[in-house]
A and B are shown apart, each in its own frame.
Chain A
Amino acid sequence: MKNVLIKTTINGKQVELDVRPNMTLLDFLRDEMGLTGTKRGCEVGECGACTVLLNGQAVNSCLILVPQIDGQEILTVEGLAQGEKLHPLQESFLDHDAVHCGFCTPGMLISAKALLDHTPDPSEEETRVAISGNLCRCSGYQQIVDAIRETKHVGES
């Protein structure tokens, strides 16, 4: 097995690395980049805990091989806050008590960002569809939906 050289942008930083091809983007982010905010859940694309943005689109990082991100842009939950300043979505999740155990939260935040980037004022239905690929086992969906819909000042990254 030959390693593959990839050039990619992760949370705004350019990265150039020699990678094993038989690694998922999820494993790469967590084990190689130390970005453990992206969670490992079902690993078959059902739970959404590993959701990241790939060129602005929500995807399951467990279903992408790391060489496939060559030349692409990735955003993980770590890329939401600007330094100490939380992203408005994160503030809204706190305000609405939308975090229970917290395991689904990174994936929920990323799916929510994908929604708000295109639909700044989503309906309840649009919001529920946007997070339909993210499971919350604490069943805090109502607070999460409210938090997303009442997020303020989104539009910038």
Chain B
Amino acid sequence: MKPFDYHSPRSLPEACLLLAELGAEAKILAGGTDVLVEMRKPGSYSSKAVVDITRISSLKGIGESGDAILIGPLTTHAEIFHSRIVEQYAPLLKAAVAGIGSPQIRNRGTVGGNLMNAAACADTVPPLLALNATIKLLSSKGERSIALSDFFIKPYATVAQRDEILVEIRFPKLPANARSSFVKLGRRNALSIARLSVAAILVKSDAGVITDARIVTGAAFPKWQRVLEAEKVLIGQKPSRELFDAAGKKVSEALISFTGRRWSTEYKEPVIAVLVRRSLEACQ
């Protein structure tokens, strides 16, 4: 690893000040499961300073505030997995973190790092988008709150500035009658990078009619987003295999309209449709 100065601020004001001083020379370190791999790649950019934010305890933990769930960005995937709050109000997020990396990776990797790294295959992104999450970014210049759906530009690029720290992830609790799921295709059980993934949420009325539907795919579109065309197919209908197939087909069509036909389309077109159907069936 190339030489760098190491800083471990104990508070957010201290961290913001450091990042303002260091400017483009600094790299923020959280769980390290992506950053430390990147930093050792031959020819990787060198940061003159590493700002290790893992000692800032206010960035850890999961809490409730009225109808919202708040997750500190330094919360590890293992902590999310074991959280009763997440299990009760956002089970699809629990399902997503269960399959990230390995036990070792889940013990270190953080949800904030997963968002800020912004890999196309980031497993926490589809569920958090389906949950309509918003995030808070903080720098010495101030704080701003943005919808997660406005955060990503493309894989590995976000609207966050270099001196901004992700300080909060917040989303509304799912209602008690909501059902949700996360399904993922990978090449190996552990440590697999998602080839395709789907997060889904369905809410039904007492009469069994779908009143809210949210579908987000991972590793499929050049930019993450809810697939509104497919969600519309579901609203006002009663669940059936044919309906879920129709929603899957809409997602396939939307995917192709974005990416055009490429070498992987022959595979992704039918497979994403089936994954969507399975994820919706898992919401029953």
Contact = CB atoms under 8 A, between A and B. Distances in A.
The answer to whether A and B interact is: yes
Pairs of residues from A and B, 9 with the lowest C-beta to C-beta distance, nearest first: A133-B102, A21-B6, A132-B190, A1-B3, A22-B1, A57-B107, A133-B104, A60-B104, A44-B37
Contact of A4 (B6, B37, B105): B6
A5 to B, nearest CB: 11
A88 interface: no
Interface of B: 1-6, 8, 29, 31-33, 36-37, 40, 50, 52, 54, 78, 101-105, 107-108, 189-191
Interface stretch (A28-36, A61-69, A91-99): A61-69
A114 B52 CA distance: 26
A38 interface: no
Interface in A51-74: 51, 54, 57-60, 62-65, 67-68, 70
A15 interface: no
A53 to B, nearest CB: 10
Interface of A: 1-2, 4, 20-24, 43-46, 48, 51, 54, 57-60, 62-65, 67-68, 70, 111, 114, 129-130, 132-134
B29 A48 contact: no
Nearest to B6: A21
Contact of B108 (A46, A64, A114): A64
A14 to B, nearest CB: 20
B37 A21 contact: no
Most chain A C-beta atoms within 10 Å of own C-beta, residue among B31, B40, B54, B189: B40
A133 B190 contact: yes
Contacts of B31: 63
A57 B109 CA distance: 13
B46 to A, nearest CB: 10
A24 B108 CA distance: 14
A23 B6 CA distance: 11
A39 to B, nearest CB: 14
A63 B102 contact: no
A45 B103 contact: no
A45 B101 contact: yes
B1 A130 contact: no
B191 A46 contact: yes
A153 to B, nearest CB: 24
Contacts of B1: 22-24
A65 B32 contact: yes
B108 A65 contact: no
Contact of A65 (B2, B6, B104): B6
A20 B3 CA distance: 8
Contact of A51 (B36, B104, B190): B104
Nearest to B4: A22
A130 B29 CA distance: 26
- B5, B32, B33 — most chain A CB neighbours (10 Å): B32
Contacts of B40: 43
Contacts of A21: 4-6, 50
A61 to B, nearest CB: 9
Contacts of A54: 107
Contacts of B105: 45, 60, 63, 133
21 contacts: A1-B4, A21-B6, A21-B50, A23-B1, A24-B36, A45-B37, A45-B102, A57-B78, A58-B104, A58-B107, A59-B107, A60-B105, A60-B108, A64-B36, A65-B29, A65-B32, A67-B8, A129-B103, A132-B189, A132-B190, A133-B103
A114 B33 contact: no
